Chain A
Amino acid sequence: MAINRDSNGYTFGFAIALVVVVGTILASLSLGLADIKKANAEKKKKMDILSAIGIESTRSTVDGIYDETVLNSFVVDATGNVIEGEKAFSVDVRNQYRNKTIEKADRKYPVFEAKNAEGKMITILPVVGAGLWGPIWGYIAIGEDNETIAGAAFDHKGETPGLGAEIKQSFFEDRWVGEKISVNNEFQPIQVVKDGSGVNEMKVDGITGGTITSVGVGEMMNRTMAVYVKYFNNKK
């Protein structure tokens, strides 16, 4: 059997066969593992929500702790009114933010109400934004007064290690604690600053060398909190 392995026909044929075989293997693997990966992602999401109120959990314990801690959840619209019949946990906030076909006014904003370790009612709000290299996101805990940040947990897809990636470190997250999202029921933007003056209210120090990521965190906070302040005002 003499096949000319240098002919164009053979080369094309081999390439096509290879791609079909590889494609089939990868597609079936991805489909086969989809359920497990989805369950993992849900656990991770619960762990992130809990970490905003300072509760650490592991993959094996998170489900129980989450059910005990998060007592209520619902979805509000861009004007801060509760939308009936929507499940907060299944709202994909990142898709809401990035999907250009969803109008800004139609975006859904999940709200999670939880009891923290001291038994206080805390509202946990997801935020999504853009860093330097990719998406950044986080969960913000608002205290009982409905205006003071009680906790923050940020994460990122691929910010620069040592610089922008530091947003997930507690030293940066803690800088947000105590800031107010509204003054006299009016939304107040929080500034991310460079000059170290961030100890004042409404200002947070950025990360040296991670300016674009830090400013991205500020933008994501202000854009999202502007909506949630409407919700808190409606609630009052």
Chain B
Amino acid sequence: MSETVEKTKAPSEPLFSKKNRKLVTDPLSDNNPITIQVLGICSALAITVQVEQAFWMSVSVLFVLVMGNLSISLLRNLIPSRIRIIVQLVVVASLVIIVDELLQAFVPDISEKLSVFVGLIITNCIIMGRFEAFAMGNKPWPSIMDALGNSFGYAWILLLVALVRELFGSGKILGFEIFGNNLPGEESGLYAMGYVNNNMMILPPMALIVVGIIIWVQRSRNKALIEDH
């Protein structure tokens, strides 16, 4: 990565210029890939039952997006325009396979839980969207910043949804019992007082509702985000 940093050290613009910083901060809130652009929703629904899965999914997307944006940006002047979408697809597909292989080898339990969803990163619109909209027309360093911004924007929504769903769906966070033990006959903590987990939270529709609540909160705080129809 240091090479690319050297290469793009153009005298005109410092590395962490306001414009570059904005590439990272914008997708975190006002241009969030999930809540504003409504991309990558399918994985947000599927793998947010537990925080751990959401974390590894976010790491995978981060890796694919950063490496992909970097490769596309480095190749941007070489890619024949007629097959550019195919080239982008090949890049994202290969990176996803690399991630999948690494997960299978080093965190096999997580790999089993994520199952097909790692493979489905290929179809995650955020990634192809950033390749086509940003990396094809920008230098490597801004492309990395853009990728970081978008994957963090994706990650925090995923983790927040997973946190809510794991806490209220299973009473745990990262497997630690927050509300006490709910094994039948050995209840403790809140469960001993009659609290029960909300099984709805484990089902995919609740992810949509939680994302909806985040969108609602976000737009009521920043009225500029509300579209006119």
Contacts and interface: CB of A to CB of B under 8 A. Distances in A.
B93 to A, nearest CB: 8
Given A5-B81, A11-B83, A14-B78, A36 B105 contact: yes
Nearest to A35: B105
Interface string B64-94: 0000000000000011111100110011001
Interface centre among A30, A33, A40 (most CB of B within 10 A): A40
A148 to B, nearest CB: 26
Nearest to B104: A37
Interface in B186-229: 203
Residue picked from A6, A18, A29, most chain B C-beta under 10 Å: A18
Interface in B93-141: 94, 97-98, 101-102, 104-106, 108-109, 112, 115-116
A59 B76 CA distance: 44
* Chain B contact residues: helix, strand, loop or mixed: helix
Please list the 5 inter-chain residue pairs (A to B) with the smallest Cβ-Cβ separation, ordered nearest first: A11-B80, A33-B105, A36-B105, A40-B108, A22-B94
A36 B78 CA distance: 37
A51 B106 CA distance: 23
A19 B91 CA distance: 10
Interface string A11-48: 10011001100100110011001001100100110000
Contacts of A59: 108-109
Contact of A5 (B80, B94, B109): B80
Contacts of B79: 14
28 contacts: A5-B78, A5-B80, A5-B81, A6-B80, A11-B80, A11-B83, A14-B78, A14-B79, A14-B80, A14-B83, A15-B83, A15-B87, A18-B90, A22-B90, A22-B94, A25-B94, A25-B98, A33-B101, A33-B102, A33-B104, A36-B105, A37-B101, A37-B105, A40-B105, A44-B108, A44-B112, A59-B108, A158-B116
A36 to B, nearest CB: 4
Contacts of B90: 18-19, 22
Contacts of A37: 101, 104-105
Interface string A145-173: 00000000000001000100000000000
Tell me if A's interface is mostly helix, strand, loop or mixed. Answer: helix
B82 A11 contact: yes
A158 B81 contact: no
Interface string A203-222: 00000000000000000000
Given A11-B82, A11-B83, A14-B78, A158 B105 contact: no
A36 B108 CA distance: 10
A33 B97 CA distance: 13
A137 to B, nearest CB: 14
Contacts of A158: 115-116
A109 to B, nearest CB: 26
A38 to B, nearest CB: 10
Given A33-B105, A40-B104, A40-B108, A6 B81 contact: yes
B97 A26 contact: yes
Interface in A44-87: 44, 59
Contacts of A29: 98, 101
Interface string A120-146: 000000000000000000000000000
Nearest to B78: A14
A22 B89 CA distance: 12
A29 B102 CA distance: 9
A140 B24 CA distance: 53
A43 B108 CA distance: 10
A149 B13 CA distance: 72
A18 B47 CA distance: 32
A5 to B, nearest CB: 5
Contacts of B115: 158
A11 B106 CA distance: 38
Contacts of A19: 90
Contact of A36 (B87, B106, B109, B203): B106
A18 B72 CA distance: 12
Contacts of A14: 78-80, 83, 87
